[in-house]
Amino acid sequence: MFESLSDRLQSVFSRLTGKGRLTEADVDAAMREIRLALLEADVNFKVVKEFVARVRERAVGADVMKSITPGQMVVKIVLDELTTLMGGSEARLALSGRTPSVVMLVGLQGSGKTTAAAKLANLLRKQGKHPLLVACDVYRPAAIDQLETLGKELGIPVYRGEGNDPVAIAKAGVKDAIQRLKDVVIVDTAGRLHIDEEMMDEAARIKAAVHPNQVLMVVDAMTGQDAVNAASAFADRVDFDGVIVSKLDGDARGGAALSVKAVTGKPILFASLGEKLDALDVFRPDGMARRILGMGDVVSLIEKAQEAMDEGVAAETEERMRAGTFTLDDFLSQLRQVRKMGSLKEIMAMIPGVKGLPKDAEIDEGALARTEAIIQSMTARERAKPSVINGSRRERIATGAGVTVFDVNQLLKQFSQAQKMMKQFTSMQGKGGKRKRMPQFPGAGSPFGM
């Protein structure tokens, strides 16, 4: 979503960092381009004005102008201000000690609220909670059925209640959670195509009835400033506590994510970066700012790796690497853990420096799937001992995987090179005496650095 903005800002910074010293005229020219880049990204114009003013004030300070690397100092200032603009520090969902804690979701129709409810329930379950989803959208056709379908997919119960009174359903849902011994209730409320008095009144009545610990508004990042305007209206009437930004993986300009905190004063707690039900991440302003500026987001990358990694399997695989008995079966196991982390494009965006790759550099999202298909087309003996794979076997494997013999040859060549690398590393450890971790993809144990 922020690709265009990121490219524009990096273009500005490349010119600044290429100068030995900066003048006020250089800073002013850069501020004009940054202002245009933010406005084109659909950031609120008042937010842009204040942001540029803060950056310029700091950028023309004596510490920057006399610095040995003034261009890099300006980049750091922009990074700091972008982080502050999106909330400064990470905001956490505040659940109380009482059981059950209640989280109420509000927002316009089409913002992705029902899906966000299911994603949030899934995220909380991973954190050891026992959630119950309550379907209070009695107006949108099939809204309750949609939530039930998502709940079944996740194995999380959904309370749909009886009748058409959303307030009564919400209250009954909380009672049902108590009976089921659930510690978190997520209430999915109804939305409208636009802000109206009836929707606001209903949201206020549900809030008064169930006394939620947190009221979260779901805003669609692809609707730009309309999302910010809706959030402002809700903040005045319902007084929500935080924001979930949905569809942040889309191709819109993304200004809502940059504007909502500054306009409403409410922090972004979560960001939805895909359609899968595990594609909801805690929002980190510093990480998002770094990704916008092409600096990667190592913290999020490590957390994704840790979440996807089976530590027991990883430890066993590492021991086999050290012993020189690492097989294609082991590699397949690690490959599947890499795929759990998300798309290659998403992973690459978190790696510092990768944003600087050439524009025509393509990320082959199907590479992991093809590699998996090749290995699965092998017999158990072939996976354990690739040296037995001759010409006819390669043709059979390629046909079974739906790839070319060249693809099979490439995989076998890479695997052979990786085995040699691991043997050399083990040999070096034996000479040095100090045990080090094997070189591998973060959390995945892959020797290929995919």
Residue 173 has which token pair?
């849902």
**Tokens for 123?**
């995220």
Gap between the Cα atoms of 78 and 83, Å rounded: 8
pLDDT at residue 30 greater than cutoff 80: yes
Model pLDDT, residue 29: 87
Q: How confident is the model at residue 265 (pLDDT cuts 50, 70, 90)?
A: confident
Q: Which residue has the higher pLDDT, 401 or 324?
A: 401
Does the domain at 101-294 match CATH 3.40.50.10800? Answer given as no
Q: Name every residue whose Cβ is closer than 8 Å to that of residue 85 and which is 6 or more positions away in sequence.
A: 47, 51, 258, 261, 262, 285
Confidence (pLDDT) at 431: 53
Check: CB of residue 202 under 8 Å from CB of residue 137. Answer: no
How much is the pLDDT for 250? 60
pLDDT at 193: 63
Identify the residue with better confidence: 234 or 52. 52
Whether 101-294 shares its CATH topology with 303-432 is answered no
- Tell me the mean pLDDT in the region 130-142: 87
Between CA 392 and CA 387 the distance in angstroms is 13
Q: Return the DSSP state at 386.
A: G
Q: How confident is the model at residue 342 (pLDDT cuts 50, 70, 90)?
A: low
Question: Can you list the positions of beta strands (E) in 73-213?
Answer: 101-106, 131-135, 158-159, 184-188
Amino acid identity of residue 354, one-letter, is: V
Angle between helices 3-17 and 24-40 (to 10 degrees): 170
Mean pLDDT (the chain) is 78
Contact call for residues 218 and 224 (beta carbons, < 8 A)? no
Q: Which residues pair with 270 in a beta bridge?
A: 244, 282
Q: What is the mean pLDDT of residues 89-116?
A: 84
What's the confidence (pLDDT) of residue 286? 83
Q: What is the pLDDT of residue 440?
A: 44
Q: Which two tokens stand for residue 49?
A: 């004005």
* pLDDT higher than threshold 70 for residue 200: yes
The per-residue pLDDT for range 363-404, each reduced to its tens digit, is 566 777 888 899 999 998 998 888 899 999 999 999 999 999
Domain boundaries, the chain: 3-85, 101-294, 303-432
Of 49 and 110, the structure prediction assigns the larger pLDDT to 49
Q: Which residue has the higher pLDDT, 436 or 320?
A: 320
Instruction: Check if the beta carbon of residue 34 is closer than 8 Å to that of residue 48.
Output: no
Superfamily name with CATH number, domain 303-432: Signal recognition particle, SRP54 subunit, M-domain (1.10.260.30)
* pLDDT, position 356: 46
Do β-strands 268-272 and 280-282 pair in parallel, antiparallel, or remain unpaired?
A: antiparallel
Question: Crossing angle of helices 225-237/197-210, nearest 10°?
Answer: 50
Token pair of 58 as six digits: 């700091």
Reported CATH class of domain 3-85: mainly alpha
pLDDT at 429 over 50: yes
Q: Three-state DSSP class for 215?
A: strand
Q: Which two tokens stand for residue 201?
A: 């009144």
Query: Percent of the chain having pLDDT more than 70?
Result: 74
* Residue 188 burial (10 A CB sphere; 0-12, 13-18, 19+): buried
Among residues 79, 189, 96, 70, the alpha carbon closest in space to that of 134 is found at: 189
Cα–Cα distance measured from residue 422 to residue 11, given in angstroms and rounded to the nearest whole number: 40
Residue 314 confidence class, pLDDT cut points 50, 70, 90:
low
More confident residue, 109 or 244: 244
Question: Above 80 in pLDDT, residue 439?
Answer: no
- Cβ–Cβ < 8 Å for 345, 273: no
